[in-house]
Structure 1
Amino acid sequence: MYEQPQLKEMYITDLTLSMTNPRFPREVKSEAEAILTFFQLKKVGPGKIMSLIEDIVETGIVLENFIVLKKDGEFIVHDGNRRLTALKLLYNNTSEIIKNDYPKVYENLKIMKENFDVRKLKLNVQVYTDSNSMANHVAKLHSGEQNGKGQINWDSNEKDTFNSQHLNQPLGLGNLIYKKLEKTAEKRELYNKLQKGSFATTLNRIFGYSNIRKRIFQLDRGLKVDLTDSVHFNKICEMIEFFISKNATVADVYTAEMASNFFEEIKPISQGNPEGKEIEGNPEGKEIEGNPEGKEIEG
């Protein structure tokens, strides 16, 4: 039977960084060494720490609970050490630790500390006295889905939908494509194929490239692909079918040049041809000599 953690409100001065953080390549001997090690880790580094500090200062809260083991009178953090590092750097003269190696972060911290008193920030903490119970909790937080026991992360569609519902952010084109396909009866088979992968951000990428919009959709700079236009929508579906048929991934279209090469076989929408049909003798949809505007030819 595992111990139930005790929920507490605590302050930065109550908490101690772990010296045995699994992210560290070796055990450290002090909090100062732990902070410097976070800065040196490729997966963390000064940029991500600074971003976290900025978020804490801007919102005035730390979103997640700290998981703590009470041992020998100390409250040692075993989940939340990166957050605690950010807080420690806002406290008193702790930032002197990074002054020489990370002067830009140090200068930014000086400015932030003038307008933010980290000592008053209440932190939500789950305190264990049994190390096995603490370890069970932390392991489940960091071990993926575990057949439902752990957290199931949102895919790009789900993130986009949440941001639209609650943060007043417009849905990305990729998510809009999913929703349009789902509601279009004759495209249900394509929708089901698309559902097998998570392609929303990849679709955002593909149809956001200016060279794709210009060559295939015949759009001037700044104009976007229009899902309400049946010709655009059919061309989008054609490109998605092609993408899926090649078992492609984002790696195949990661840059504008790669996407252009990948979709080289896709013919452009014909100018002056609203149904998107090929003009006989002009399969590439090129302008007809003497008719640069792509207007219909009389007769």
Structure 2
Amino acid sequence: MSYRSIKLDALLVNRANDRHGELENETAAIAWLFNNFETHMRNLAKDLVASGQVFEPPLVFPEGDHFILFDGNRRMTCLKLLLQPRRAPTIELQEFFAEQRSKWKGDFPTTVQCQIEQDRDRIDDILFRRHTGSQGGVGQSTWDDRMKSNFINRTGRGNGFNAADEIEKRLAEAGMLPTKKMPRSNINRLLSGESFRNRVGFTGAGGKFEFTHDKPVVLRALRRIAQDFASRDYVLGDIWDIDGKRSYLDGLESEGVLPTAANSLASKPVAQDGEEQPAAKRPVPTKISRPQKRVSLIPNVNYSIAWAGRLHRHKAIWEELQFHLNLDDHANAISVLLRVLVELSVENYISQTKLATVSSNDTLARRVLRVTEDLKRAGKIDQKYFELLSKFPQNDVLLSADTLNRYVHSPNFAPSPDHLRALWDWLSDFLVHCLNAPVKAHGVILPEGAAR
């Protein structure tokens, strides 16, 4: 730990702050703070002007010529906007910060005393122990459940499930531990979320380790991961954000290291030692209960999407459709947002995979078809689902691009909640594949560490 005065313009507002999860860039992170804490941010700016100083040194991590803020993002955002009011996200806020700057007494600080930490694990330890009171926005703000979840999903800390412990135990039992010590914090960070664990072939749902794919295949994948990090071929910086984690696992997938759908245990019950058993009879329920009506378009289940920073708008739309909009009350708004989500998700797949078969003049229907063909070639979808998605360009099919377009442009084409539910159930797997698109260059998945 060291303390040093750092130029204000060398401090970067953290685009992956646990308050919001990964966003695209610093500008998006600043906008999020004001969209969600505008009153607090205004109070904080006024307090900084009144006091003329920052009472607690921000916690930062060096990255190149800059320093990423891990604690103190709100205070430094206010200082940055007091220095440059035009960076505020709205005209009203630009005027507010210009007015506050005029009230600053004495010289405005262009440097800030910061606490510099070179060890990211220590940064996470510090963050885990802070955020205990808001004081109307002047003090540190308490994390809500979603912010805590972002922290856990990023670091793997505090969720009651230690992936590294479970992996080390099973590799030891199989005699497959690497000769060098496993870096446990890196393993936990890589496999902090279910979407990444599922790709490797296990789950930690409910705090319990269970194989989801054939045990020998999963153990080989886990051994490779343990060796990669024990040998320091890969380090914490390689998997710090979602794109880094995904890129590393994409590289393993391209090498055939990760389990495939053919290894899935979903359709074959497995005994304790991994041997297949005859399917057990499903117990007959004692009471027949009526299924609960789905009130939102997206069911409240985990779709195992790795939300990278570039997907911040996709995620916001997804959460509105999953948690905030009721189908019976907001069918028109939902139909339009679904159309937007489909287009943004398809564009993400095309951009990430650099899909060469797509033309800039292609309609949404043709783009969906091209992505569907690519998913089929990559073995991500089966023939039956491919044939179903291939109907999307047909204008005479209710579940089609034409239907989505009419939701936006036709004054006489009213969406019904039941039809929207059916449309979602038809498209959901396709959209998840689009949002989880691997990084490719000219149709080839990039290995970890390659230029992107």
The interval holding the TM-score normalised by the smaller chain is 0.3 to 0.5
Structure showing greater radius of gyration is 1
Structure-1-length-normalised TM-score: 0.40
Structure-2-length-normalised TM-score: 0.29
